[in-house]
Amino acid sequence: MEWVAALLFIAVILVLLAGFPVAFTLGGTALLFAGFGVLGGGFNEALLSGLPNRIFGIMTNETLVAVPLFVFMGVTLERARIAEELLETLSALFGTLRGGLGISVTLVGMLLAASTGIVGATVVTMGLLSLPTMLKRGYAPEIAAGTICASGTLGQIIPPSIILVMLGDVMTTAYQQAQLDMGVFSPKTVSVGDLFAGALIPGLLLVLLYVLYILGVAFFRPGMMPAHHQEPDDNASLGKILHALLPPLLLIFAVLGSILGGFATPTEAAGVGGMGALLMAISRRQLTLERLQEIMRNTLRISSMVFLILIGASIFSLVFRGYGGDDGVRAVLEAIPGGVVGALMAVMLVMFLLGFVLDFIEITFVVVPIVGPVLLAMGLDPVWLGIMIAINLQTSFLTPPFGFALFYLRGVAPPSVTTAQIYRGVVPFVAIQLLALLLIAAFPGLVTWLPGQIYGG
């Protein structure tokens, strides 16, 4: 009955493209297929009795408690206008350096990524704050749009990231299942902390490559980045720099350092991050009762969406496996020429294309549980595979014409910036992302070295 599982997957994609809500599409379509299967005698209805246990497992999963806490932290920092002060300070710090504003935008994007981890919010915030300033200073719309989109998507790979928390939880289950399939009945585990440590060097590598590209454009095509003549009042004092940079850096080190140092679980560290963000907003006098209510509503809305999608994905996964879909996927991947390399390239290509129509959350909860155990059973490192998937999808979200980051920026960009200019601007950054993927594929130690040093694995 593997063909029914393939039909189920195609049906879900088509219904999603029709605009139906993701969570209800995943669960509803799967239950319809299960119902017809029970009536036709092709589906074992006893499998559906496992649904309550699956949902209860989601409710009691301590790792996933980090998601609403990190969301709260990110939304609070977004409302505290921390990006505005960071951008002003770094722009003044780099002063008249050609391309300095582009570098400032990249570094602020990196800090926001490490502070919030919410890609859409980062792109929109940076677009509203920095795009008008870059255009006013004579930056070409292409380089301005490309820099903002690329730096905004860093939230997917730079820890502590909400996306890495969800991916870490899924990879843990997939890794254990892969080992059980191989006959290992005392399986090793992989944690969210492993994924955070593995993402650190690749994330910083991407930032470095972005900055080098901006400097290269500034040197070889100076007309795209005119030099800025600063006024005396624009200079950044040491006190101003510390006031803007120190609080978010301390918050990042407190959250990430406590996880990597083994002092706290991701959930505990997320609680520290949420309280730290709240204190930062209070200290900057940006927290009113009305704004706090807005923060709570946004946190509830985003968290509810994530968990509803996770429940829907669990129903889909159960029905998909009930029709033998996991055996079909394993057979297809094992039949691909090139062995594990060919299978990995095929999976990466499919995920890249799915990234045009599905968000990271759906791909993490639906696709990774299907292909993850098969690839891991072929001997791939779970942390390395997780980071490869994260950067691959980050690239997909940047790629024209369907990249999500492009739509986010298009929504806040002025009419003078055309969609074609946004598309042209991100193409070099897509090439940089692909280069980073190739580097990580060629040198897996870029991902695995730091977790091995920290955790001794």
Cα–Cα–Cα angle for 436, 441, 442, nearest 5°? 100
Mean pLDDT (whole number) for 248-266: 86
Match 């720099």 to its residue by tokens. 241
pTM here is 0.86
What are the backbone angles phi and psi of residue 307, rounded to the nearest 5°? -75, -30
Report whether 329 contacts 367 (CB < 8 A): no
The confidence score (pLDDT) of residue 228 equals 65
Biggest distance spanned by C-alpha atoms of the chain: 80
Mean pLDDT (whole number) for 329-350: 88
The confidence score (pLDDT) of residue 115 equals 65
The confidence score (pLDDT) of residue 108 equals 85
What are the backbone angles phi and psi of residue 366, rounded to the nearest 5°? -105, -50
The confidence score (pLDDT) of residue 441 equals 93
Is 39's pLDDT higher than 60?
yes
What are the backbone angles phi and psi of residue 239, rounded to the nearest 5°? -65, -40
Mean pLDDT (whole number) for 249-278: 87
201-240 residue pLDDT tens:
999 999 999 999 999 998 898 888 877 666 655 666 777 7
pLDDT, averaged across the chain: 85
The confidence score (pLDDT) of residue 229 equals 62
Q: If you average pLDDT over each of 62-76, 77-91, 137-151, 273-287, which comes out highest?
A: 137-151
CB burial of residue 187 (10 Å; 0-12, 13-18, 19+): middle
CA-nearest of 66, 9, 21, 132 to 274 is 66
CB burial of residue 5 (10 Å; 0-12, 13-18, 19+): buried
Report whether 153 contacts 430 (CB < 8 A): no
The confidence score (pLDDT) of residue 253 equals 86
CA-nearest of 88, 130, 137, 99 to 213 is 99
161-196 residue pLDDT tens:
788 888 888 898 888 888 887 777 777 778 888 999
CA-nearest of 311, 312, 321, 310 to 4 is 321
pLDDT category at 386 given cuts 50, 70, 90 is: very high
Residue of 98 and 278 predicted with greater confidence:
278
